[in-house]
Structure 1
């Protein structure tokens, strides 16, 4: 890391932002066809077939203003379908298409490769600790 001011070098917010910036750049090199939030949506739909848009937003932590255009893009590309819930016409039900499932299968290995590259300098214990710490911070 360059010789940055000590206040930044010791700032969790700054370090998290820089780590995310580096992680995202690595992701984009390996997985240019899908963004991390799009992958999170597709992976969630693979694990939870037929889910409401509201529940998907809750599970992925993606707000409605971001999720709606993201879903529209994925739907236009043929990776998911949205339909009105017959039991509650205000709700939208989402399902992964076979094309979306194929994309998830292709990207899963690349996502793992991104993790492997980014975490290569950490021991297994440090990796587990990092994930646990990030989960704690994410759930606040």
Structure 2
């Protein structure tokens, strides 16, 4: 697992070189919101695998920058809904290009078969969190 952590650190460092304005977790949140017009903060945390204590300040930062908005759900006042703004949608497009470029750089030395195997293994490991 040490190697997995090192690989994540290398990915994050490469991402930050290309796009220092946004962290990979912030991009993950914005990309998730792009596909869901209005989602509860709790469900967003589940989909992005970001715990509440980390998600709340992350959302606050993105909201302050105008990338998303949060509002109380009119049907359940205890629940907050999160939505991507127009400005956030523009940022998502750029983040998606950066993610693709980061993947390209990080996987450049792997054959297509190695890439497929890596993705299969990562998907398996990610699925373990559901147990």
- TM-score range for the pair, normalised by the shorter chain length: over 0.9
Q: Is 2:11 the partner of 1:23? A: yes
1:100 aligns with 2:120: no
Q: Is residue 120 from structure 1 mapped to residue 113 from structure 2 by the alignment?
A: no
Q: Which runs of 5+ in 2 are unaligned?
A: none
User: 1:110 deviation in Å?
Assistant: 1.2
TM-score by length of 1: 0.89
Q: Find the counterpart in structure 1 of residue 60 from structure 2.
A: 72
Determine the structure 1 residue equivalent to 2:120: 132
Q: How many residues align?
A: 128
Equivalent runs, 1:53-92 vs 2, <5 Å: 53-92=41-80
> Structure 1: 5+ residue runs without aligned partners?
1-12
**TM-score when normalising by structure 2:** 0.95
- Structure 1 residue runs of 4+, over 6 Å off? none
Q: 1:35 aligns with which of 23, 46, 49?
A: 23
**Which has the larger Rg?**
1
